[in-house]
Amino acid sequence: MCGIVGYIGAKNCVPILIEGLKRLEYRGYDSAGLGLINSDHCEVIKNKGKVAELEKLVHQKNIQSSLGIGHTRWATHGEPSVINAHPHVNKEKTLFLIHNGIIENYLSLKKGLEVEGYQFVSETDTEVLAHLIDHYLKLKNSLFHAVRYALNEVEGTYGIAVIYNGEKDKIVVAKKGSPLVIGIGENENYIASDVTALIAYTKQVVYLEDGEIAEITANSFKTKTILDEDIIKEINQVEVGIDDITKGGYPHFMLKEIMDQPGSIFNSMRGRLVFDEGISKLGGLQGFEERILNSRRIIISACGTSWHAGLVGEYMLEQYTGIPTEVDYASEFRYRNPIITKDDTVIFISQSGETADTLAALKEAKKKGALCLGVCNVVGSSIARESHAGVYIHAGPEIGVASTKAFTAQLVVFSLITLLIARSKSLSLQQGQEIICEMQNLTKKIETILKQNEIIEKIAEQYVDSKNFLYLGRGYNFPVALEGALKLKEISYIHAEGYPAAEMKHGPIALIDDNMPVVFIATKDYTYDKVVSNIQEVRARKGRILAIISEDDDQIEKMVDHVIRVPQTHSMLMPILTVIPLQLLAYHIAVKKGLNVDQPRNLAKSVTVE
């Protein structure tokens, strides 16, 4: 993962780099560093821990510079430590390099460099790149071409930025498999892993593609491929504003993003519902409708929370379109030689649009001739650009590591795709209109749930000391059980499992005693009576039960310890409502345990390594 940022211009870059790193900290936060080059000296400052620690160190030193790069790390090769933190440097400490990705052939490159007398101090794969570029620089190449030659020897993924004391007027950046964006300013330019680090300064950006390299000065940028072919890049206008990436008065991004959901799901459906025809209109799929409708099969591929959204999507698509649909973990899909044909449509879901496994799965499906659709949040992200067509979820920037508003927006987009296909199949106008009406009412219904925040906080108090949790649901609420369990474990470090409620009797029931909280998602649908029986089974074994139930339910409250009520909606839309109390529950438990909910240990927002 890792976040990278850089500046060249007339200003002092130190606060710009620190601010940028703070915005990129969601990508990794185990160590951080800056590399600065001045007219009279150059310096690297690194620290273990968060960017705030680095900031203190930098303040003590009171340095200024108008050329610099910064990095926040998520360790892959080598433990989090000052030595392993970036930037990495050449022997003379005149060349500084930051890297996001993995150099897969670093051991063989390292051996070759050691033979030449290069010495290594860190355990990282990245250090190899610093020395390899140094090697080509010493062959009298310019920095740009030294980086280019070095990258031609590299296998793996990278987003890199390099500065060199011998060429103080430039930053050289390159990309393969890890994102890299150039921010265009006036007599100053920026680079970063993503636009959130830049938007306080510029809205004009250039996205590098895989295999591209750029030389950036204060007034210009030139781009080529690493094979030295000229390319012309388009300048894009970013729509995200600074308000979208601040906490807006909330104590955590996660809470802000949970509370944002009435607005984010509204944005994800805005302008896309055509009531008169009971259908959705998705500009990003225009021209591909026939191929989608005639698909022999739909495959959905994703990771983590996005995979859970895909599972709900499978239920929707199979129920309403009649097209066989399956969901696959991207990490499994990419390596097991899946049987894919040109008659298949594969939908890749990713909030960040940068998840390495999902991106690799997409490339595999594309190679096999399938129609590849991207469902992403981050505009211009790798998965969005690599797909044949797609739909943005428009949830707005999601910064908390635990995905919340992206999940509900992904479900909205699956509802829209389902409507689009199903109306051309057997869904009647009236059924289409019913779904649209329910979608339009979601915003208000979500607000009703969010108003219960304090009640949920009180319930959370009762469960803070629990060591394990089971989450159970059936039908559309089974993926919600998985998602509720994932939310809890990733931010509160409490072990939690999600199961289809009926599976409980095939094993997990053995775990139930008076110490085991069981969260049931038990809203009224075709599985209701069965779930009530499952609740009785847990009750008979003295399990502690928290149930998410329908607003008008008068049965379950008597059987369980706590209930949270949610309004009823169309069954396929229920997960958009039932997941919200579970997001709040996980949030409050984690806060009460004193944990950092926005940056949970070992995790990063955007998983750009396999």
The catalytic site residues sit at 2, 605
What is the DSSP code (8-state) at residue 287? T
Q: In what order do the strands lie in the sheet with 325-329?
A: 325-329, 297-302, 344-350, 371-376, 389-392
**Pick from 66, 358, 571, 578: which binds ligand M6R (CB under 6 A)?**
358
* Nearest approach, Cβ of residue 318 and ligand M6R (Å): 22
Taking the C-alpha atoms of residue 462 and residue 338, their distance in angstroms, rounded to an integer, is 46
Find the part of the chain contacting ligand M6R (CB under 6 A) among 129-137, 193-201, 352-360, 453-461.
352-360
Provide the H-helix boundaries in 451-527.
Answer: 453-461, 477-492
Residue 403 binding ligand M6R, by CB under 6 A: yes
Distances (CA, A) of 499 to 496, 512, 576: 10, 14, 18
Residue 355 binding ligand M6R, by CB under 6 A: yes
Find the part of the chain contacting ligand M6R (CB under 6 A) among 57-65, 278-286, 400-408, 521-529.
400-408
Find the part of the chain contacting ligand M6R (CB under 6 A) among 211-219, 350-358, 454-462, 492-500.
350-358
- Determine how β-strand 204-207 pairs with β-strand 31-37: unpaired
Taking the C-alpha atoms of residue 298 and residue 309, their distance in angstroms, rounded to an integer, is 15
Tokens of 407: 């999940």
Find the part of the chain contacting ligand M6R (CB under 6 A) among 154-162, 217-225, 349-357, 470-478.
349-357
Find the part of the chain contacting ligand M6R (CB under 6 A) among 1-9, 38-46, 351-359, 578-586.
351-359
* Nearest approach, Cβ of residue 490 and ligand M6R (Å): 6
Q: Which residue's entry shows tokens 């699956």?
A: 414
Residue 607 binding ligand M6R, by CB under 6 A: yes
Q: Which residues 67-126 are close enough to bind ligand M6R by CB under 6 A?
A: none
Count CB neighbours of 380 within 10 A: 17
Per-position x/- string for 440-479, each x denoting binding to ligand M6R as judged by CB under 6 A, each - no binding: ----------------------------------------
Tokens of 446: 């979500």
What is the DSSP code (8-state) at residue 196? G
* Nearest approach, Cβ of residue 247 and ligand M6R (Å): 18
Provide the H-helix boundaries in 25-79.
Answer: 51-61
What is the DSSP code (8-state) at residue 195? G
Count CB neighbours of 150 within 10 A: 26
| End-to-end alpha carbon distance in the chain | 10
Closest CA to 260 of 352, 396, 375, 451: 396
* Nearest approach, Cβ of residue 300 and ligand M6R (Å): 12
* Nearest approach, Cβ of residue 124 and ligand M6R (Å): 23
Taking the C-alpha atoms of residue 345 and residue 194, their distance in angstroms, rounded to an integer, is 29
Q: How many residues bind ligand M6R (CB under 6 A)?
A: 17
Count CB neighbours of 117 within 10 A: 8
* Cα Rg of the chain (Å, integer): 25
**Pick from 173, 323, 327, 402: which binds ligand M6R (CB under 6 A)?**
402
**Pick from 306, 321, 492, 568: which binds ligand M6R (CB under 6 A)?**
306
**Pick from 350, 492, 568, 583: which binds ligand M6R (CB under 6 A)?**
350
407 vs 520, which CB is nearer to ligand M6R?
Answer: 407
Find the part of the chain contacting ligand M6R (CB under 6 A) among 74-82, 297-305, 417-425, 532-540.
297-305
Residue 264 binding ligand M6R, by CB under 6 A: no
Nearest residue (beta carbon) to ligand M6R: 304
Taking the C-alpha atoms of residue 192 and residue 178, their distance in angstroms, rounded to an integer, is 11
Per-position x/- string for 206-245, each x denoting binding to ligand M6R as judged by CB under 6 A, each - no binding: ----------------------------------------
What is the DSSP code (8-state) at residue 275? G
Residue 196 binding ligand M6R, by CB under 6 A: no
Binding residues for ligand M6R (CB under 6 A): 303-306, 350-352, 355, 358, 401-403, 486, 490, 603, 606-607
